Structure 1
Amino acid sequence: MESAGLGLRRKAAERQHRAEVLLAGEQLRLRLHDGKLIKDRRYHLRTYPNCFVAKELTDWLVEHKEAPDRETGIRLMQKLMHHDIIHHVCDEHSDYKDARLLYRFRKDDGTFPLDKDVKVFLRAQSLYETLLDAEDPILKAREENAVTYQRTVFGCEMIDWLIQEGEAGSRGEAVDLCRLLLEYGIIQHVLNKHHFFDTKLLYQFRVNFRRRRRLTELLSEDTLRPMPESPDSPFCLRKLSSEQSTSFLSVQPVKEIKLVSAVRRSSVTSLCGGAGSSFFPNPPNLGILPSVECNPKSVITRPVTNEELLSPGAPYLKKTLTIVGDAVGWGFVVRGGRPCHIQAVDPGGPAAAAGMKVCQFVFSVNGMYVLHLDYPTISSLIMTGPRTLVMEVMEAIQ
């Protein structure tokens, strides 16, 4: 039963990722039309409508900081080709080539495949837009267990609305539609404990269809896969020679501060695979690094649960930190899960300047409640978000 549930969650995650690719691709298409990069082009005595030149698009991606380099730009466009969003005008090339070749969005020439997954997401997007544009919107921020969730709606309220708007002919049909949206990862119970029911349970739209997507998010499935927990997870501290100056202050369980050296100021965690440089080109060259020494112990001396953090009168203080990333990231390490905590802070980095300290628990990231998430998921949220990071943390009152 547990493996079946895991399979459903994995399938929902895959579908949700595809939805993000479709949304990012459509946003890119509209921007390219506005920028006149997509237009009718003539090649070998024939005119091809609504095309772009691959080399020109790669130039545009780098120039507009949608990709840190040409190689990443090519990978991004190959991702769109893999999902049947763009194609070579004559279908002579199955790969995206950084050359003076003509490509086209399938939506511009009517060849975009409308399979079941696409139809579900288009239906969900239409419902989402209608919900937001309503005079008296039922989709709003609400509290559950003293936590505020964005884009939420009560199950029975959603069913009433679907019938009222003519989106479903009966309550049973409306419930089936909402359960389909949940299985596709578009909505979920705010605590992720229930399937969809026609009751007063609170549900949230996980997909914000109006959010501006960064194209580099499309590669997160490949570069930010959750890794199994291990002694050197999530961040390996390297022992450098005495001539090296890059360093972390790592706090051990006995509260002693030990100076250790690090590869670089990681944006969040080594799981990001260097993704921090995606938004900030030309990271510094740190040269060849010697052998690895890992930090095997968590800075948290005893397990802390979400219930303990959120219970009334708990000895924890919530703080809001605004961290502006520099050329090599934000300068801190996240570890653990449910809740995650700050494992290390670069004393000379943006996070330390904003007031971040080790042992703080991560409450929210850019307005999204994350106490129930593990560190790879939080890392992905941070890495694919804006350069200015707004985090709420909870720390023990001394």
Structure 2
Amino acid sequence: MVKDRRYHLRMYPKCFVGSEAVDRLIKHAGVKDRSTAALMLNVLQRHNVIHHVCDDHQFKDTYLFYRFRVDDGTLPLSRETELYIKGHQLYHEQTLLGNSSVLKLHNESGVMYDKSFHGAQLVNWLVKSNKCSTRQEAIGLGKDLLELRLIQHVTNEHHFKDERLLYVFHPDLSQLKVIDLLDIHERPRSLSLDSSMFSQKQKLASPCQPIPPVPPKSPQMPDATAADSRPKFQIGSPEQEESQNLMSESDNEDLSGSRFQDSHGSGAVRFSQSPTAEELKNPDESCRRQTLQILGDSVGFGFVIRGDGPSYVQTVDPSGPAAKAGLKIGQFLYFVNGEYVLNKDHVEVAHIILRNPQQLTMDVLVPRHQASQH
């Protein structure tokens, strides 16, 4: 789709046609209709991810040329963002292209880890494939990826080393989709990795995927550990666009019989058995309804939602507007700007939120364990 194109005797390198991008999202990313796809691409343009080749047009579902700013050098990248992109490219080459020479099934102290690799193996591959010129450079890259938590030692006991120590990529890298580009963060400090994902209790059934990811109905980049998470379909300033990352899904674990819980105090929400929209229509004593007024800042509202109906709050930026208004992880969205949303998936809810990026009125269902804290 991205290629050099000629128009009126002029060549435009590395660009794509607006209508073809819409076609691709519908065909390959599960987007429901053309208007939704066009809206998504407009959001990417507002965040300076893409732009018209002459900067003359907003994104339109028509025969106009657009380009990713990363392809023409007009995207200001922080060091963290460059590393994040590089980490995803490495993962993509090793998995999605089906030619992995590094990721294998390994046994570590009686525990099987699928798609894992030894530090020395990754260093060898980086040098052999000319991605790094020296082993020392490759070791430095491995350390940077680990500090961003794009990779992690399987038992979380070692930094990255050029040794036979076992590592895995962050599991959510396999779930990168277009909508995740809209999870904007102030800084891409790290992916949200739950250390329990890499515990020695982890078995082959879920070595790199602690839970089945909650699949969005349309295209779906990480965390409360980073604490700068921003809402899906976030309207923010162009300066923030380089820090796009993947919000991690959470561990499938139930604590104290609760259906939802904050991971590590401010991480991604955990589920063991998510209630249905029908069950939440008439909540019992396990939930109470609360109305919140949230005023957006220059970045957005400061939270991320997930879910196929009901939608729930997955991550909240502790310093953002939503947290100040009282929004917490694990709360279910009941009404948004006066519209009943309990049965809507997170993409549909995001569209409603987008209608007024400055102010948001929400009725949420507060879990009992949260209500008792007030």
Please give the TM-score of this superposition, normalised by the length of structure 2. Answer: 0.41
Larger Rg: 1
Q: State the TM-score, normalizing by the size of structure 1.
A: 0.39
